A and B are shown apart, each in its own frame.
Chain A
Amino acid sequence: MVSTLIRITGDWSLAEDCTADAFEKAIARWPVDGVPDNPGAWLTTVAKNKALDRLRRAANEARKLEQVAIMNELEVDDVELTDDRLRLIFTCCHPALPLEARVALTLRTVAGLTTPEIASAFLVPEPTMAQRLVRAQKKIKNAGIPYRVPSIDLLPERLGGVLAVLYLLFNEGYTAVSRVDLAEEAIRLTRVLLQLMPGEPEVQGLLALELLQHSRRRARLVDGELVPLEEQDRSLWDQALVDEGLSLLRSGGRYQTQAAIAAVHARDDGDYSELVALYDRLGGGAVVALNRAVAIGMADGPEAGLAAIEALPASDYYLVPAARADFLRRLGRDAEAAEQYRLALAVVKTDPERRYLARRLAEVEG
């Protein structure tokens, strides 16, 4: 509804205000008059009329009058609603907006979260978040950021930008502690995007990746403790999510490849032979290179894994000593493992990771 009004009026704050007004009116009227047959259409009409009214009052220039004339002719159907939501997602994720504003705007406008909810999810004060949203809306208006789905030649790049925002949101959900489950919100939004762009392999890939990772959420963190994949209680995996994730696998780009990697772990059949080739397809970067080395260890044993880590170009990626320590531990080289666990503990990022490493260190020191 907000998205339709934005398209019609081109004014984000006007669209939000009028939508809010329509809901207020519904709260006042429906208990008295009864709920209308098509509540969605009722609300959209009320909001549209409200916007029309405001524009008419403000219409002291020809341009605005023109807009009023156009609005009168607009009837909204389902196809248009779909298109409007898609436009909204692409606009919220426009690369000319700062990344944190893209994430916030998507949650506010597409997912319909409140400003306090978004603020608490990202652990920032509410006025800061409100200001971030207002600035982004102002930039959309003042800089002429278009309210449309990008043209075919721009689409792959810009779709990549939208998927990056959704994936960032999903990953925030791993760490953020708040009322709103960002991971579930990200999955919901990815589902919406897939509905709007059915059959798009990279959208399917992102949804598959999210579902496969999310299926392990209850096994991954138990009583605040991080449980590594090999020690997770398989019965806690959400099999429905695994099945749905697996059903979305296609051949395709980066997200499909990452989903294929997640699928190898979800199948859990001890066959890791595909893993290394999948990481090769992802290419570049210290994180991928380390994961590739760990995959070699899973496929060919800890000795091979350790050799693969030693062959990596030097990097200060904080998980390198932790991975080295795990292979050394498996090889029974406890003293060397302990040394690496201590190095890892010095650079660890999160508390659950710290506790995991400390537990392992105690084991090899034992």
Chain B
Amino acid sequence: MTRYIMFVCVDGDPDTDPSPEPDIEKWVADNDASGKRVGGDRLAGPSDATMVRLRDGKTLVTDGPFTEGKEFIVGYDLLECDSMDEAIAIAAAHPMARGGRIEVRASWPMELDLS
């Protein structure tokens, strides 16, 4: 099993297919029930983001970053899948695969560095 993170994004270029989009409640319920989805949530908007840096021992906190573009992350889901193919199938069934786009990333466990 590999852990995959779905970054759910808007991209200003939604699907034009008029058929109804899948229901998000059902998507969450189905994937929670199968044990494939192990967590996830929506995110507060990018205008409410806060940036933290440490420089020369000082914590620097600033407002932002401000994303000017139409592409930003609006949520995330954590999946446990046996392969990228399974993760792709789950991502493709998410309504935001049509409303925007979904970036699927495999996690990179620390233990792999030791082998």
- Cα of A125 to Cα of B81 in the assembled complex, Å: 37
Q: Give A139-160 as 1s and 0s: 1 = Cβ < 8 Å from B's Cβ atoms.
A: 0001111101010001000000
- Does the CB pair B84–A143 fall under 8 Å? yes
A58-66, A109-117, A169-177, A245-253: which one contacts chain B? A58-66
- Does the CB pair A143–B106 fall under 8 Å? yes
Contacts of A145 in B (CB 8 A): 83-85
Name A142's contact: one of B88, B89, B106 (CB within 8 Å). B106
CB B4 to nearest CB in A, in angstroms, measures: 8
- Does the CB pair B106–A60 fall under 8 Å? no
Per DSSP, chain B at the interface is: mixed
Per DSSP, chain A at the interface is: loop
CB A152 to nearest CB in B, in angstroms, measures: 13
CB A14 to nearest CB in B, in angstroms, measures: 11
Q: Give B59-101 as 1s and 0s: 1 = Cβ < 8 Å from A's Cβ atoms.
A: 0000000000000000000000111110111000000000000
Task: Name the interface residues of A270-301: CB closer than 8 Å to any CB of B.
Answer: none
CB A349 to nearest CB in B, in angstroms, measures: 30
Also in contact, A61 and B114, with CB within 8 A (given A144-B83, A145-B83) = yes
Name A146's contact: one of B84, B108, B111 (CB within 8 Å). B84
- Does the CB pair B83–A60 fall under 8 Å? no
B115 close to A (CB within 8 Å): yes
A96 close to B (CB within 8 Å): yes
Output the nearest chain A residue to B2 by Cβ-Cβ distance: A144
CB A82 to nearest CB in B, in angstroms, measures: 21
- Cα of A60 to Cα of B114 in the assembled complex, Å: 9
- Does the CB pair A154–B85 fall under 8 Å? yes
- Cα of A60 to Cα of B111 in the assembled complex, Å: 11
Contacts of B81 in A (CB 8 A): 144
- Does the CB pair A150–B85 fall under 8 Å? yes
CB B29 to nearest CB in A, in angstroms, measures: 22
Contacts of B88 in A (CB 8 A): 96
- Of the candidates B2, B82, B85, the one having the most CB atoms from chain A within 10 angstroms of its own CB is B85
Contacts of A144 in B (CB 8 A): 2, 4, 81-84, 87, 106
- List 23 A-B pairs, Cβ < 8 Å: A58-B115, A61-B111, A61-B114, A64-B115, A94-B84, A96-B84, A96-B88, A142-B106, A142-B108, A143-B105, A144-B2, A144-B4, A144-B81, A144-B82, A144-B83, A144-B87, A144-B106, A145-B83, A145-B84, A145-B85, A146-B83, A150-B85, A154-B89
Which 4 pairs show the lowest CB-CB distances between chains A and B?
A146-B83, A144-B2, A143-B106, A145-B84
Q: Told that A60-B115, A144-B83 touch, could you supply 17 new A-B pairs with CB distance under 8 A? A: A61-B111, A61-B114, A94-B84, A96-B88, A142-B106, A142-B108, A143-B84, A143-B105, A144-B4, A144-B81, A144-B84, A144-B87, A145-B83, A145-B84, A146-B82, A146-B83, A154-B85
